[in-house]
Amino acid sequence: TDRYAVIGNPIAHSKSPAIHAAFARQTGQDLTYEAILGPLDGFVACVRQFMRDGGKGMNVTVPFKIQAVELADRLTERARHAQAVNTLKFEADGSILGDNTDGVGMVRDIRDVLGVPIAGRRVLLLGAGGAARGVLLPLLEEGPAGLVIANRTPEKAEQLKALCPGRGEVDVARFDELGGQGFDVVINATSASLGGEGIALPAGIYGAGALAYDMVYGDRPTPFMLQAREQGAARVSDGLGMLVGQAAESFYLWRRVRPDTAPVIAMLRAC
Ligand code: ATR
């Protein structure tokens, strides 16, 4: 039986053990997956101990995703671009591969579970912090017709844009310039929802059939989701599918089997 774990602080409310247990059942993979509370000053020692104990890989969550970049011996391109690691794979030679599955997990949730294509569509990315950075490259790899980054502090949107030269058309806009632009997919990567706040968005940002997607999830629709409905978004989703999607990509990295996320999302919605 191979061992895996998620490390974070706090960790008690992590859904990852339940998600990976469901994936293992679904795919018939023989593994265990536990939650480890990492001491704030002892992340690296904790990971090394889990390796010595025979662990094969770990998920990394708040506040250790940046320290995990330093710890990894090699990074995937998407982890390097995100400058954050949420998945560690312990290789047979003792080295550590660092990956980031958050962005691709979100893209697959939007494309495959919600059934909304990104290729050829106009995408608006709200926010320019770590969460936005983590999804930018996977979004561009889908081949949108255009991607606009809008942030409350415009300079940070410019900085984020500068990180992805030559990877598709990226524009920067201020919130008040977005009115009437009619995007197909609008993604909230700001932390506003975490504080229970909405975002000061003008009318007309949603085109016909548009999807509004909040990377945050909770028991109730977020302020962004409520506002999106009022402003005419045809479809609205929280980020629970992204959580399950990133887990599925980590599972795939470790096991080379990609679980079906839809039944696991449904299971989490039911509890
Ligand atoms: P994270 O890792 O979650 O992305 P972060 O790096 O601190 O966190 O970035 C937070 C993002 O949410 C930023 O884009 C921030 O905008 P600013 O750069 O202008 O600070 C955005 N944000 C937070 N609260 C917001 C609010 N109430 N309205 C609009 N944007 C908000």
Q: Whose CA is nearest to atom 21 of ligand 1?
A: 190
Residues 253 and 213 in one domain: no
The half-sphere exposure of 65 on its side-chain side, counting CA atoms within 13 A, is 17
* pTM for the whole structure: 0.96
Taking the centre of ligand 1 as the mean of its atom positions, its distance from the CA of residue 260, in whole angstroms, is 32
Provide the residue range defining the domain that includes 217: 103-238
Q: Whose CA is nearest to atom 2 of ligand 1?
A: 130
pLDDT above 90: percentage of residues in the chain: 94
Residues 123 and 227 in one domain: yes
Overall average pLDDT of the 150-154 stretch? 96
Binned at pLDDT 50, 70 and 90, residue 173 comes out as very high
C-alpha 179: how far from chain center? 27
The per-residue pLDDT of the chain, averaged, comes to 96
What pLDDT was estimated at residue 164?
Answer: 79
Helix runs in 129-239, H state only: 130-141, 154-162, 223-230
- What is the ipTM metric for this complex? 0.97
Q: Which residue has the higher pLDDT, 150 or 271?
A: 150
The answer to whether 56 is a known catalytic residue is: no
* Residue 246 among known ligand-binding residues: yes
- Tell me which of 56, 65, 89, 161 is the catalytic residue: 65
CATH code, domain with 150 = 3.40.50.720
**What's the one-letter identity of residue 132?**
A
How many structural domains comprise the chain?
2
Helix runs in the chain, H state only: 16-27, 43-52, 67-71, 77-82, 102-108, 130-141, 154-162, 223-230, 240-255, 262-270
Taking the centre of ligand 1 as the mean of its atom positions, its distance from the CA of residue 182, in whole angstroms, is 23
What pLDDT was estimated at residue 38?
Answer: 98
Residues 59 and 71 in one domain: yes
What pLDDT was estimated at residue 35?
Answer: 98
Residues 211 and 175 in one domain: yes
Residues 74 and 116 in one domain: no
What pLDDT was estimated at residue 36?
Answer: 98
What pLDDT was estimated at residue 240?
Answer: 98
* Residue 151 among known ligand-binding residues: yes
Residue 126: CB atoms within 10 A of its CB come to 27
- Reported as a single tens digit per residue, the pLDDT across 120-143 is 999 999 999 999 999 999 999 999
3-state secondary structure of 50: helix
